[in-house]
Amino acid sequence: MRTARTTVAISVVFTLLCASILSNAGQKKEAGQTPSKSTHDYVVKPVPFTAVHFNDVFWAPRIEINRTVTIPFAFQKCEESGRMSNFERAATVLRGEELTNKKPPGYPFDDTDPYKVIEGAAYALSVHPDPKLEAYVDGLIDKIAAAQEKDGYLYTTRTIDPEHPHPWAGKQRWELEKVDSHELYDLGHLYEAATAYYQATGSASYSTSL
């Protein structure tokens, strides 16, 4: 009971304080006075992550391991799991060539895993140039662009087999977007990766392929 009364009392005091401040501001406005502005600002201001450099024994080695080990390993897993070949299979269909393996991807959002790793690679390239990594990503961008349909639609599970895409995809574009298709989810990660890569390298190859 005491806690409840205390809460009510605090609420009443806070309400009266707000009312007093608003009333005072209104009176000054009516009198033609401009409410005073604070001359202070936050002491700590955000900076671009590219302006932060580590030379310690804890973070610096881990950031380097991320670039040289973690990111290549993530790309390797995308290769091994067939996520890269999904783009290659879609491109085969768009070229009008016969495709023997029309099995849909495991999930309609599998396309986003390469996008996510590209975004991570872009952040690494922003602080540490790596010609080998950049060349690999450029090659992957070419594969992704080749899987894009003429009107810009990029969703490998439908392109691979329009008649029998993943069950979550729906028979028509976008019809199950609000349920399970993940079409906009895929697109969002594509945009994020393209933006990060452009900021990191200045290369518009990814963004212009959208």
Phi then psi dihedrals of residue 173, to 5 deg: -55, 140
- Cα separation, 8 vs 48, in Å, equals 44
Entry pTM: 0.78
Predicted local distance difference test score (pLDDT) of residue 204:
75
Could you give the CA distance from residue 210 to residue 30 in angstroms, rounded to a whole number? 54
The first and second tokens of residue 77, run together, are 């897993």
In angstroms, rounded to a whole number, what is the distance separating the alpha carbons of residues 202 and 92? 29
Tens-level pLDDT at each residue, the chain (210 residues): 445 454 444 454 445 444 455 455 555 555 555 555 556 778 888 999 999 999 999 999 999 999 999 999 999 999 999 999 999 999 999 999 999 999 999 999 999 999 999 999 999 999 999 999 999 999 999 999 999 999 999 999 999 999 999 999 999 999 999 999 999 999 999 999 999 999 999 987 766 665
Question: Can you list the pairs that 86-90 forms with residues at least 24 positions away whose Cβ atoms lie under 8 Å?
Answer: 86/110, 86/111, 86/147, 86/156, 86/157, 86/160, 87/111, 87/114, 87/143, 87/144, 87/146, 87/147, 87/156, 88/143, 88/146, 88/147, 89/156, 89/160, 90/146, 90/147, 90/156, 90/159, 90/160
pLDDT in tens, 58-106: 999 999 999 999 999 999 999 999 999 999 999 999 999 999 999 999 9
